[in-house]
Chains A and B, each alone.
Chain A
């Protein structure tokens, strides 16, 4: 997307930061609220920057009644985001002008400083700025010289036969390296990784996913790594067309990689190797996709992640069988951890997986029961319970617990510390997904537009609608819900959507998701304070904040 003006560039930068560094945006929004900034740029463009809950909102155009007025030229914007060119040493007097109450000006500065620190580290933001700079080449400073690399120091050590393989030797055996990792050689902080274990090769260029501050890139890398594992797990033999090719179908469809990231990051945050969590993450993905196929059949869904659902494309028989096979292979994948992680951790993984599956089928049963009885619960709490069971466990809670188990954490009390934080975050995430199904674009969301309404899915919006609507509307909505899926028309779904808008159900859901997400983030900080502040915990924190800054 072209970055034709400085204001547009700022809008895109904030947009990227919102998804790639949510924790920072949330912190910056916390500094800024409730100030409204009127931003004026050297190229004549204008924008308004304001905070709403944990989000930063950019509106192009001039501000009315802004608390702080800020004028930038290109040179001072350079200070904020651009890393390829050094900030000029002295700003021209007219380069940056900030006017407003003293406290507001300071808050503005703190907000920009937070954004600038993180934006510096993001390739996507740098790309935006490179494009912009290419169009506005005047007044940029000279490119910086590469800093000289003078770090030296490596402790020689005994090389007697240790009985450890290369990976263990690098990662755990050698105390000299460990000492260096803490003091002299920050480049050693990353855990060792295997390139060849006697059977399987991994590319050296598969950079460790958790070294990137960009949440989207991290999730992409984790997902890609897990997909490669799944590709290796599913055999390439007959019956190909009727089974194994179908098993690859759902996992390969577009996804965020949230579960994989949580599993891998939690493992790493507990001091484990990212590689140790890959199989568990792959197992969760296989279960998830098996459940989705069955779920689509029971919900009579027509689209999943932008394509026809399995049963629509292949028929119910093959779809059921494929779902069964995915679940079977998931069990096998968990068991395959035995040689790598040992008996205790593998048994703990099995225990976690069984619990996850039980919660999921119970949640599904509750919702299907509501739909079958044409019942809409009155209390949000009922929805919370159903949502946590149906999706919360396998989307958020279990991936974290599994990751911790992979790293050797099997203390139930420690594992339970993930539950409340990620329960709240999971519910918020699910509510947002439901909102997106109503107001988002199908191309982005993947399911058919208003599909949830056609399926009669019990969402917070529907619960709020039934709770707050008048008796006549409620009766009409119950009538629509009572129609079989095949007889529901798009007009029925639109009628229900209009009713939801009329009774403020969508705004209510957005605000509720915000509140839950904030509570989740607070619980994250409190309950997981025992985890050391490392790169992987930072990724978990980003995921927690992702829900609070996700564009709706």
Chain B
């Protein structure tokens, strides 16, 4: 199954390229080398302490490619309590078309998602079912012609087979997160981000989590005003609160030991990649608006550092996928809630260090 997912053809309405493509996620061709489209998946199993992160990316044609071909990369990372993190290279095989909740109609909520490294492990063959509604899209614009736009959906149920190098797990039930991204950015200019999600445990199969949370902190290199933060809270599958910028505090404490961080893909270990600063050990996010309040605590336990080559600089961009326990509590509409679960957090950055 090659990763050559369906190509996009230029849309007819690209009359004024200076305005950029229409719409938040236009279905048109990527033109510049730093134009990107992503589908992102992250799941945590109900039992057995498994975790999955996968990213499928379409990139604009390379500057030196006369045929102007769109490029694909796909990577799958799996966390197993026994083996820690493992990952494919950037050439993971994906069943096309890649599953995306954003393309499904309300009546077709269930479909298949299959991705595996070329050695078949790590890999998953899952049936995915959406249970919630996506949030509205968000955008960060930084240099005059660069931006980063994303849209999230929580409460994705996954059932199926997970394969690590040593074991195969069947009929694993998991719940997770899905996101689509479109934008045009260079890694050094993007700066970095801290992102994460948490789904409250759901008792019923296929039901939306009682509460789910997604937070994002994005800080481009410049201008300083472009940095932004958001916390979104879902309740029973519907977006209930969106806390923005001024209403949010993010703090960290402690450092995760370097030996708990695995470099992936394995090839990156042979390319003389410089060490990054250690990622924090504890993350606390506090969001409040009026009387509503949400407090999230996350403890980093194990991390995989995905080393992504930068098109415009020597330093690679690094995304640390971190798994750990998470505690969310809050007060919304006069009602308190709280849950403990596992979450996945990303600490990304490092390409601007040239």
Contacts and interface: CB of A to CB of B under 8 A. Distances in A.
Interface of B is mostly: strand
Nearest to B260: A149
Interface string B97-139: 0000000000000000000000000000000000000000000
B177 interface: no
Given A159-B338, A196-B217, A204 B347 contact: yes
Interface string B316-351: 000000000101010100000010100000010110
A188 interface: yes
A169 B140 CA distance: 28
Contact of A205 (B247, B254, B277): B277
**Chain A, interface SS category:** loop
Interface string B236-257: 0000000001111111111111
Given A187-B255, A188-B254, A169 B284 contact: yes
B224 A194 contact: no
A254 B251 CA distance: 32
A195 B250 contact: yes
Given A154-B299, A169-B284, A188-B281, A196 B250 contact: yes
Most buried by B among A147, A167, A201, A211: A201
Given A161-B331, A201-B229, A205-B347, 17 more contacts: A149-B257, A149-B260, A160-B329, A161-B295, A166-B250, A187-B254, A188-B282, A190-B253, A192-B252, A194-B251, A195-B194, A195-B217, A197-B249, A204-B279, A204-B347, A205-B349, A232-B224
Contacts of A187: 254-257, 281
Nearest to B352: A203
Interface in B268-296: 276-282, 284-286, 293, 295
B349 A171 contact: no
A198 interface: yes
Interface of A: 146-147, 149, 154, 156, 159-161, 164-167, 169-171, 177, 185, 187-207, 211, 232
Contacts of A197: 249
B295 A188 contact: no
A197 B282 CA distance: 17
A18 B219 CA distance: 37
A149 B254 contact: no
Nearest to A148: B259
Closest 4 CB pairs of A and B: A201-B219, A159-B329, A201-B227, A207-B277
Given A165-B286, A166-B286, A201-B217, A194 B254 contact: no
Contacts of A205: 192, 276-277, 347, 349-350
A198 B249 contact: yes
Interface in B160-199: 191-192, 194
Given A161-B331, A194-B250, A166 B259 contact: no
Nearest to B327: A159
B196 to A, nearest CB: 12
B293 A198 contact: no
Given A159-B329, A169-B286, A206-B277, A194 B249 contact: yes
Contacts of A232: 224
B227 A185 contact: no
Nearest to A180: B254
